[in-house]
């Protein structure tokens, strides 16, 4: 579904990504691991056309090079940034409604689905999003992206700063997303979560992919974990 080949990216003169190569198949959860600063978030931004890049990014066989971020989103890619980027003066319900592709909900997700999975959002449905806690805002951002009915969603550090109970809810949501045939490319620091929910994992170091394999491969390779993941 998603094919990334020889992806390079820059911030100004700083060369961040160096020949990144990865794949995500339909209905698959793939995690992108690595220490802070190795280029994981930049990889997602480069796929979305948000940074200067070179290389090939194909989605469902169609090249995305040269497209703007909103054009890529319309092709069926969703992006959940670590910064959340909610609309603070709009209510929770209004934020969710803005995520719909059209005024008529016709996708796999409705506002009611979001409220079923996260009752806390329903309780705050008519409150300005700016008064939500950090965890609630993270849930809102994720749900708003799903309201756009993407076929693949890229999620950057979704459990950062969340309480353990919310982390569990997020993991359950990812499994529900997968059941509906939606692919996930996940950037996450918590190794235990990624090993539990991912089919495959990529490990980044110094702007490149240094390892890829299954959760079992990661568990069995202590040397790799020590060199590229552990602090």
> Could you tell me which residues come within 8 angstroms of residue 90 by beta carbon, excluding any fewer than 6 positions away?
98, 128, 129
Least confidently predicted of 37-41, 72-76, 173-177 = 173-177
pLDDT tens-digit readout, 185-214: 999 988 989 999 999 999 999 999 999 999
Grade residue 173 by pLDDT with cuts at 50, 70 and 90. confident
pLDDT tens-digit readout, 46-83: 999 999 999 999 999 999 988 999 999 999 999 998 88
Read off the pTM.
0.90
User: Residues 45-83, buried b or exposed e (16+ Cβ, 10 A)?
Assistant: bbbbbbbebebebebeeeebeebeeeebbeebbbbbbee
Which pLDDT value is given to residue 152?
A: 96
Which pLDDT value is given to residue 76?
A: 92
Q: How far apart are CA 3 and CA 60, in angstroms?
A: 8
All domains in the chain, ordered by first residue: 1-76+150-231 (3.40.50.300), 83-149 (no CATH)
Backbone angles phi, psi at 5, to 5 degrees: -135, 130
And the tokens for 124? 């705050």
């Amino acid at each position: 579904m998603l094919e990334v080949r020889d992806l390079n990216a820059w911030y100004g003169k700083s060369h961040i990504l160096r020949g990144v190569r990865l794949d995500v198949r339909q209905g698959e959860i793939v995690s992108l691991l690595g220490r802070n600063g190795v280029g994981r978030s930049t990889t997602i931004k480069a796929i979305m056309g948000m940074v200067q890049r070179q290389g090939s990014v194909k989605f469902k066989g169609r090249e995305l090079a040269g497209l703007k971020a909103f054009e890529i989103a319309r092709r069926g890619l969703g992006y959940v940034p670590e910064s959340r980027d909610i609309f603070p003066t709009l209510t929770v319900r209004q934020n969710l409604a803005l995520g719909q592709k059209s005024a008529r909900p016709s996708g796999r997700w409705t506002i009611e689905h979001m409220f079923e999975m996260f009752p806390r959002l329903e309780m705050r449905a008519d409150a300005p999003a700016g008064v939500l806690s950090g965890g609630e805002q993270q849930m809102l951002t994720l749900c708003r992206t799903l309201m756009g009915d993407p076929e693949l969603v890229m999620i950057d550090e979704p459990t950062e700063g969340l309480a353990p109970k919310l982390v569990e809810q997020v993991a359950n949501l990812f499994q529900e997303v997968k059941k509906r045939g939606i692919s996930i490319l996940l950037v996450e620091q918590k190794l235990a979560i990624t090993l539990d929910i991912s089919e495959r994992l990529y490990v980044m170091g110094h702007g490149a992919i240094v390892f890829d394999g299954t959760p079992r491969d990661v568990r069995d390779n202590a040397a790799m974990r020590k060199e590229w993941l552990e602090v």
